[in-house]
Structures are given as structure tokens and as C-alpha cells.
Amino acid sequence: MRDRSLGLAYVLWFFLGLLGIHQFYLGKIGRGVLYLLTGGVLGIGWLIDLFTLPAQTRRVNAERRVGL
């Protein structure tokens, strides 16, 4: 199983982030649907992800390695 790429997550965040596509890529389906329906929670969640995306990606990769 390959790790999720931080670079690709940022590309998805930049171009399709208000639709939550980067959250779907990371496997966070619920958050992706929330972003899709609310425009990235009115853009605030999208902006927060600018700073938290590296930690989110590390966490998803670590969880996938241990099988969660």
C-alpha cells in the first residue's frame, strides 16, 4: 500500500479544495462530503487545511501502515 502524497494533496487542495477533493484523497469521506456541501465550510476549513495538511497526511499514512 502506497503512502498518500503531500504534494498531490496540496495540488488537490489548491484547485479543488473548496469541494473537499483533498479530503476524499486522504480517505476522510465524511469531511469531504461536508466540504462539498458547504464550500469548504465557507472557505474557513479550506484555509485551515493550508496549515494542517502536512499533519493530516502524516496521520493518514501512519494509520494506513498499522492497518487502521
Per-residue pLDDT band at 68 (split at 50, 70, 90): confident
Contact predicate 60/66, CB 8 Å = no
**Domains in the chain: boundaries:** 6-61
Please give the C-alpha separations between residue 6 and each of 17, 43, 50, in angstroms, as whole numbers: 14, 20, 11
H or E stretch at 32? helix 29-42
C-alpha cell at 25: 484523497
Residue 1 confidence (pLDDT) above 80: no
Report the predicted TM-score, pTM, of the whole model to 2 decimal places: 0.93
